[in-house]
């Protein structure tokens, strides 16, 4: 349902606003790399804008800091509805290695409602493009099937009545396999 709603609302173009709330700038470099002609995301209709007032999507990198939380919130509120927020990188998704420091409030979701997460430290440009494309319905989500199975070991079942022993030597007379 959300996929069809995104396709209907955003059509064929996404205008993105790039917001860094603090961090090491590793994710910033990868996001800016996505916007270069090498990856050419404009062929998918993704365009970088300089103002949140023109943006459909906010790309957030870095953890939510005390010093930048208010500015990040104001930028979010300046975006017209409908709007999407992507948390890009480990710091934006979960607070990163600074999650328990004084200046860090935690992941971006403590300040903004996040719609999509793209983890990685830093995530590769291909992962960022794929995450945005899956979110807006340009490509189908690829999920590998996972099958869980209980491990079965050949453990013999012993009963105390079957123990025969003399001194320190104990012998199991009868052993059944499971």
pLDDT digits (tens, 9 = 90+) for 2-15: 556 555 555 667 88
How far is Cα 41 from Cα 46, in angstroms, rounded to an integer?
A: 6
pTM over 0.75? The answer is: no
What CATH number is given to the structural domain containing 103? Answer: 3.40.50.12280
- Asked if residue 151 is part of any domain, the answer here is no
Q: Domain range holding 83?
A: 2-136
Query: Which tokens hold the place of 15?
Result: 């205008």
- Asked if residue 125 is part of any domain, the answer here is yes
pLDDT at 32: 87
- Asked if residue 141 is part of any domain, the answer here is no
* Span 134-158, pLDDT tens digits: 887 777 777 666 676 666 666 566 6
- Asked if residue 38 is part of any domain, the answer here is yes
- Asked if residue 86 is part of any domain, the answer here is yes
Give the residue with greater pLDDT, 167 vs 178: 167
| Cβ density class 25-64: b for 16+ within 10 Å, e for less | ebbbebbeebbeeebebeebebebeeebeebbbbbbbbbb
**Which range has the worst mean pLDDT, 22-26, 29-33, 163-167?**
163-167
Number of domains comprising the chain = 1
pLDDT at 132: 83
pLDDT higher than threshold 50 for residue 177: no
pLDDT at 76: 92
- Asked if residue 143 is part of any domain, the answer here is no
Q: How many C-alpha atoms does 89 have within 13 Å on its Cβ side?
A: 28
pLDDT higher than threshold 80 for residue 159: no
Number of other CB atoms surrounding residue 91 within 10 Å: 31
- Asked if residue 169 is part of any domain, the answer here is no
pLDDT at 146: 66
- Asked if residue 167 is part of any domain, the answer here is no
* Span 64-120, pLDDT tens digits: 888 989 999 999 999 988 888 999 988 888 888 877 888 888 889 899 999 889 888
Which residues, in sequence order, are CB contacts of 33 under 8 Å at separation 6+?
A: 39, 125
């Amino acid at each position: 349902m959300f996929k069809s709603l995104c396709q209907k609302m955003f059509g064929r173009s996404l205008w993105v606003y790039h917001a860094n709330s603090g961090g090491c700038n590793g994710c910033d470099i990868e996001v800016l790399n996505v916007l270069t002609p090498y990856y050419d995301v404009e062929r998918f209709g993704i365009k970088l804008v300089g103002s949140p007032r023109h943006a459909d999507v906010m790309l957030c990198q870095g953890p939510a800091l005390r010093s930048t939380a208010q500015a990040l919130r104001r930028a979010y509120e300046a975006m017209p509805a409908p709007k999407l927020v992507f948390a890009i990188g480990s710091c934006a998704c979960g607070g990163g290695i600074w999650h328990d420091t004084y200046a860090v409030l935690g992941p971006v979701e403590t300040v903004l409602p996040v719609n999509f997460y793209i983890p990685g430290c830093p995530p590769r440009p291909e992962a960022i493009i794929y995450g945005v494309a899956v979110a807006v319905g340009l490509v189908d989500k690829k999920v590998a099937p996972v099958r869980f199975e209980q491990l079965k070991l050949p453990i013999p079942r012993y009963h105390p009545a079957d123990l025969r022993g003399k001194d320190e030597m104990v012998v199991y007379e009868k052993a059944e396999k499971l």
